[in-house]
Structure 1
Amino acid sequence: MYSHRFNSDIHITRHASERMAARNINDGELIELIEAGTVKHKDDVRVWVAKNFDNRQDNLLCVAAVLEDKIVVKTVMHHFEWEEK
């Protein structure tokens, strides 16, 4: 899997893959999330990317990822809400 947005390969951890399966999130939704979602940086390498999917009842979907030599998707969440600062 590859992200044109981040110009990088995407690696999905076993944990993230298990969360995707449990939450019925397919590869197409994951790539759309990464390519078109809202990005918030925790620091220089850690990010959250979230996107609303109209056809799903569990919005927002979000990935927690690390930007290294590739994008490492650590987990995939649903019913996500941005924290207020």
Structure 2
Amino acid sequence: MHSQRFERRVTVTRHAEERMKQRGISEADLLELLECGGVRYKDEIRLWVAKHFEGRSDNLICAAVILEEHLVVKTVMHHFDWRE
């Protein structure tokens, strides 16, 4: 998988894959999330990407990622809240 938005190959950790299965989030959903979701940076390399998906009652869907040589998806969450 490749992210045009972040101009990097996407690497999904085993933990993130397990969470995606548990939460019914497909690879296509993850790619849409990464390409179109809102972004909030924790620092220069760590960030969250979140997006509302129509038809889901557990929104926002969020991926915690690291910008390295690859875009590393560490985990995928639901019921995410942007509030600090």
TM (norm. structure 2) is 0.97
Which residue in 2 is equivalent to 1:63?
A: 63
Give the partner amino acid of 2:31. I
Give the partner amino acid of 1:66. I
What's the offset of the Cα at 1:16?
0.2
Work out the CA distance in 1 between the residues paired with 2:53 and 2:24.
13
Which residue in 1 is equivalent to 2:77?
A: 77
Instruction: Name stretches of at least 5 consecutive residues in structure 1 with no aligned partner.
Output: none
Moved over 3 A (4+): none
Work out the CA distance in 1 between the residues paired with 2:57 and 2:83.
20
Instruction: Name stretches of at least 5 consecutive residues in structure 2 with no aligned partner.
Output: none
3-state SS of 1:75 partner: strand
What's the offset of the Cα at 1:83?
2.7
TM (norm. structure 1) is 0.96
Matched positions, count: 84
3-state SS of 1:10 partner: strand
